[in-house]
Structure 1
Amino acid sequence: MHALEKEKLPHLSLGEGRNMVTQLIVVNLTIFVFLLFTLVIYKMENVGEPRFYEDIMSRLRIPADPSRLLVRPWTLITALFTHVEVWQTFTNMVWLWCFGTFLQHIAGYQRILPVYLFGGFIGNVFYVAGIQAIPALHTLIPAGTISGSSPSIMAMAAGATLIAPRYRIFPLLAGGIPLWIITILYVGLSIGTSVSSLNGAAYLLQLVGGALAGLLFMWQWKKGNDWGAAFNRLTFKLTHVFHPASQQINPDDLTKNLAGAGESHPFKRIGKVPEQRLNEILDKINENGLSSLTPEEKETLLRASSTD
């Protein structure tokens, strides 16, 4: 297997290739704009909004009827990227940015897409199974459909809270706000939103499935079992099929190359720490999260942040 050479890119920027959260938001918003534009065309041509949902949305959203799902199994995934209501899109993207950024900082960018897809997939399975298993729901919404990234976001929220419940943001506000409080707020808002809709109970089942999937995924990752490793390797191969071999290096040689570069070029120091060493540690955080750092690397970061 090959790996791309590292590039020093600014962290959490719109153009950063390793900011998977930003890329997910861009994909969701792009699909949203396309669907909204298509809906406008349907209305302008007097075809009608019901026909739009029949022609387009029915092929993207999760159907509650298992027989329809068997005909369109891809909806288990496409529904996670399908938004057409403005308010739903806005709120989901805000929460995706929020919890996705937390998880990416804590566990690394390679966990984002696997958790998003796995959590959303299990959440959608819970939605269909729940409607069939609960007679009241099956009677009320036998032909219901649902879409959106909510189960994936819930998976990220649950997973990030499991491995770092005391992770704090806005440290200047009385020491910061713990992650578990933000998660409780999100869960409360989600429950409050679902109560007002007929599809609400099924929506809650979808969120429960996403939360359980996120907890299980990150619990296994914490134990050292990365369920997304094979998926990440496959994704890398598929997205770099046509990448020139001359611009790739063997990952086993990466450490040697970095060490050799240090021998031939003097380090530029940042305080008490060489800049190259600091960049390597920051790259490690971006890939595998803060928990992957050794005690020596944590001490190095503390020295780098010192103003002495």
Structure 2
Amino acid sequence: MQVAEKGHQPRLSLGEDRNMVTKLLSINLTLFAFLLFVKVIYLLGRYHESSFEDVMDWLTLPASPARLLTKPWSLLTSMFTHAAIHSNQWFDWSIVYNMIWLFFFGSTLQHLAGYQRIVPLYLYGGLVAALFYITGMNLIPSLHLLASTSYTLGAAGSVMCLAVAVTTLAPRYRILPTMGGGIPLWVITLLYVVSLLGSNVLEGHDNSLYLTLAGGALTGFVMIRQWERGNDWGAPLNRFLYKLSHLFHPDEENTRDLLVSTGMPFRRVSTKSPTVPEARLNEILDKISMQGIDALTLEEKETLLRASRGE
């Protein structure tokens, strides 16, 4: 029986330490606000347009491998960067679109599978999306001519990763179940994909967006399938981030509640616990699978805690 940490996680809790979705939203929105402020200062100061473009050049991901070698950090910064680079655009509306869907898919996944899934999927999805973008721009003939001057930015690949991950995990999960039985998650994901691709066509952008979306989607599917089989590819990253965040507090103990999980999340498991019958444990895990952790009673949560501790 595997034991994984998972505190009681409300779908929206801006003050919750372990709400990784709101942390990612905060990073994206803070950087966006900072860049918007910088752009306003540059434009009001009548600086040349290229001045702000020089700032953005440090954050955006270039399609050229040679340029990437001069700023490898852009693999990370690009997935958090949203900004209208040219002076004829004041506001990048993609930040609104991406953050709405990041909140929706991220919160749903966090509710179903725990906060530990969110950051690894976001970062790994963004990195693979970046690699797909660079590879495709340099190998696809119709895009190769643009590679030397092209760049990408934004969270589209990471959000697609989360969308595919949660839909793969629970495609029939109902959103707003009290309203006529609710809407299946897969339907909302389909609407998201169609609207994203449709807006790309209507706005006349090139096909490079499809590369990042494909990379993010593949990552989300593979990682969540591996997690269902008991292979948590995000665990090393979570351990690294935990140690990094506690660098100056090495003796601080994690005292949050523990939740029993398995390779197949919220499915039947074998347990050696002498005080919690296996049938009772499986009944609770099935309830989480169908209704989410918020549906558990206090007694059921205490039962899971005892099982995780082997009491």
Mark yes or no: TM-score above 0.5.
yes
Q: What is the Cα deviation at residue 289 of structure 1?
A: 10
Cα separation, partners in 2 of 1:242 and 1:80, compared to 1, 3 Å: same
Pick from 234, 253, 266 the counterpart of residue 248 of structure 1. 253
Conservation of the 8 A alpha-carbon contact between 1:119 and 1:214: yes
Q: 1:71 matched to which residue of 2? A: 70
| More moved, 101-110 vs 112-121 | 101-110
Q: What is the Cα deviation at residue 116 of structure 1?
A: 0.1
Cα separation, partners in 2 of 1:292 and 1:46, compared to 1, 3 Å: farther
Q: C-alpha deviations, 1:24-68, integer Å up to 9, x for none?
A: 001100000000000111112111333201x21111111111110
1:120 is aligned to 2:119:
no
Q: C-alpha deviations, 1:54-90, integer Å up to 9, x for none?
A: x211111111111101211111110000011431111
Conservation of the 8 A alpha-carbon contact between 1:39 and 1:52: yes
1:284 is aligned to 2:283:
no
Q: C-alpha deviations, 1:166-187, integer Å up to 9, x for none?
A: 0111112221111101111111
Q: 1:200 matched to which residue of 2? A: 206
Q: 2:304 matched to which residue of 1? A: none
Q: What secondary structure sits across from 1:284 in the alignment? A: strand
1:147 is aligned to 2:153:
yes
Conservation of the 8 A alpha-carbon contact between 1:126 and 1:205: yes
Q: What is the Cα deviation at residue 304 of structure 1?
A: 3.2
As a proportion of its length, which structure holds more helix?
Answer: 1
Q: What is the Cα deviation at residue 210 of structure 1?
A: 0.6
Q: What is the Cα deviation at residue 146 of structure 1?
A: 1.0
Q: 1:265 matched to which residue of 2? A: none
Conservation of the 8 A alpha-carbon contact between 1:285 and 1:292: no
Q: What is the Cα deviation at residue 299 of structure 1?
A: 7.5
Q: 1:129 matched to which residue of 2? A: 135
Q: What is the Cα deviation at residue 214 of structure 1?
A: 0.8
Q: Which runs of 5+ in 1 are unaligned?
A: 255-279
Alpha-carbon distance in structure 2 between the residues aligned to 1:223 and 1:30: 36
Tell me the amino acid that sits aligned with residue 253 of structure 2. Q
Q: Which runs of 5+ in 2 are unaligned?
A: 84-90, 269-280, 289-294, 299-311
Tell me the amino acid that sits aligned with residue 304 of structure 1. T
Pick from 86, 92, 97 the counterpart of residue 98 of structure 2. 92
Cα separation, partners in 2 of 1:26 and 1:57, compared to 1, 3 Å: same
Q: 2:173 matched to which residue of 1? A: 167
Alpha-carbon distance in structure 1 between the residues aligned to 2:102 and 2:166: 12
Q: What secondary structure sits across from 1:166 in the alignment? A: coil
Q: What secondary structure sits across from 1:86 in the alignment? A: coil
1:297 is aligned to 2:284:
yes
Q: What is the Cα deviation at residue 119 of structure 1?
A: 0.4
Cα separation, partners in 2 of 1:198 and 1:66, compared to 1, 3 Å: farther
Q: C-alpha deviations, 1:190-216, integer Å up to 9, x for none?
A: 111221355431111110111001111
Conservation of the 8 A alpha-carbon contact between 1:131 and 1:142: no
Cα separation, partners in 2 of 1:300 and 1:148, compared to 1, 3 Å: closer
1:56 is aligned to 2:55:
yes
Alpha-carbon distance in structure 1 between the residues aligned to 2:198 and 2:9: 40
Q: What is the Cα deviation at residue 240 of structure 1?
A: 0.5
| More moved, 294-303 vs 184-193 | 294-303
